[in-house]
Amino acid sequence: MNIKSYLKDKKKEVDEYLDNLLPKTNKFPAQLHEAMRYTIFAGGKRVRPILCIASFQIFDSNYKKVLPFASALEIIHTYSLIHDDLPAMDNDSLRRGKPTNHKVYGEAKAILAADALLTFAFQTMAESSNFEDRLIKKAIFNIAKSSGYSGIVGGQFVDIDMEGKDIDLPTLEYIHTHKTGELIKTSVYSGALLAGAKDEDLDNLLKYAKWLGLTFQIVDDILDEIGDKEELGKNPGKDNHYNKFTYPSIYGIKKSKKIAEEYTQKSKNYLAKINADTSILNEISNFLLERTY
Ligand code: GRG
């Protein structure tokens, strides 16, 4: 299996699914639908839906069944990016290689478009009838938990609260594991859960995803320092600008890269405990460690 073509194919499928799913721009209020679609289709690697699909595929080859959930995860992620870019948060002008949502539609409409995306994600999952109700309920519960106060909102809150303040390592890890890690964790978990994985495998996948999520954020912080604006599709140097503590600001680039490698290995050790073909997740871990965008 070639991981690059796997990622490309799955991104295409997710994009097609999202295009059919999202409200159309020929329906009233057209501009709301346009603003919802704008940041979704501005670009993006589709990491979270692809993790969900790859995790599902370990236990069930009919992965198309999980596309509503995979797409919902991308929709939640995109809502958080729109809010993160707002003047009251990171105040950014570039995302996914395009002007940020509020730069195009104005602040009030960007907030509403993101709110509409978040709620639409849950509508989409609740509407799905591809799995037993108890599995759907459990998946939605976990995705909600990872999105709210005990997930990305909690992580973002502490991140904002700590701006310019001295921060200890446990607080930095709280920010990373919540702001970034929780959605990654729930993407891997919900894919396997919906495919009918047993508890022991789910437990190993959760541990895999925990280390993967941390690695993802460390690499994100490294790219914020040394990445290329064109390739990233966003403005680098934001962490320095906001005096944020990050792995590179504490350990430097070289040691941070080493830590990311160690964490990737730790994550893969949990995959090795699963008695099924986990090679796609294994390859995705390598890709996410080595990514330059
Ligand atoms: C506003 C509730 C709320 C949350 C914001 C997602 C987020 C939390 C902030 C965005 C800024 C940031 C550095 C978040 C960490 C998560 C992260 C690395 C986002 C970028 O994810 P990618 O690289 O982006 O998967 P694409 O565009 O490829 O989808």
Domains of the chain with bracketed CATH: 3-290 (1.10.600.10)
**Which pLDDT score is estimated for 204?**
98
Provide the b/e sequence for 243-259 (b: ≥16 CB within 10 Å). ebbbbbbeeeeeebbeb
Q: Are 52 and 192 in contact (CB under 8 A)?
A: no
**pTM of the predicted model as reported, rounded to 2 decimal places:** 0.96
Provide the b/e sequence for 176-196 (b: ≥16 CB within 10 Å). bbbbbbbbbbbbbbbbbbbbe
**Which pLDDT score is estimated for 258?**
97
Q: Which of 156, 186, 223, 288 to mutate to test the pocket of ligand 1 (most atoms within 8 A of CB)?
A: 156
* Weakly modelled stretches of the chain, pLDDT under 50: none
Distance 258 CA to ligand 1 centre (A): 22
Rounded Cα gap, residues 58 and 69, in angstroms? 16
Nearest Cα residue to atom 4 of ligand 1: 80
Within a 13 Å sphere around the CA of 225, how many CA atoms are in the beta-carbon half? Answer: 20
**Which pLDDT score is estimated for 245?**
80
**Which pLDDT score is estimated for 228?**
86
Q: Summarize pLDDT for 174-186 with one digit per residue, the tens.
A: 999 999 999 999 9
Q: Summarize pLDDT for 22-62 with one digit per residue, the tens.
A: 999 999 999 999 999 999 999 999 999 999 999 999 999 99
Q: Are 75 and 120 in contact (CB under 8 A)?
A: yes
Q: Which of 74, 101, 97, 75 is nearest to 233 (CA)?
A: 97
